[in-house]
Amino acid sequence: MHFFQTLTSFILASTCIGAAHALAVPDNNNALALRSPGELEARSNAAATCTLWTLIPNTANLRASCDTVDHKPHLTEIPISNCVANRNGGLACQKNGGAGGSCVFYDIKFGSTFFAISAHCKDDKGEIVTTVNFDMNQCFSNENGNLTC
């Protein structure tokens, strides 16, 4: 399913179920699945409370729709560099890591329990190292609808 189809389905599903305070999000197969408030409260990581992950074109910024404490979706954006470092071509979670200056990020994969990204980064010799499906869920968290480290 394309991003805009998913976004449209998300908006329609959220509108239809708004009174029930549940949230429709893509599951592992990009099919929309409902999350109840109790399920959201039981989860604390970004993958569990954010969806519609997108790389902003021509930047190293992430955008996502993250749940607030009152279970409303909030569109948020953050530079990957705020939370991820390039360590000799490999990615690592680190506040103010600066990976956006030496890495090109691509291929986001996400579901209700995971959020991964792939990247091409320069190592200390200037050669390109490829990392596939780095677990970004360890680097980012959701604070009342806003992505943080």
The CATH number of residue 133's host domain is: 2.30.60.10
* Helix (H), strand (E) at residue 108: strand 103-110
Determine, yes or no, domain membership for 37. Answer: no
The model's pLDDT over 65-95, given as tens digits with 9 standing for 90+, comes to: 999 998 899 999 999 999 999 999 999 999 9
- Nearest alpha-carbon partner for 149 in 61, 82, 62: 82
Exposure letters 102-139 (e unless 16+ CB within 10 A, then b):
bbebeebebbbeebbbbbebbeeeeeebebeebebbeb
The pLDDT of residue 44: 58
Determine, yes or no, domain membership for 120. Answer: yes
Provide the domain count of the chain. 1
Average pLDDT over residues 107-130: 91
The model's pLDDT over 12-33, given as tens digits with 9 standing for 90+, comes to: 333 333 333 334 444 444 433 4
Is the pTM value of this prediction over 0.95? no
Q: Which domain holds residue 102?
A: 45-148
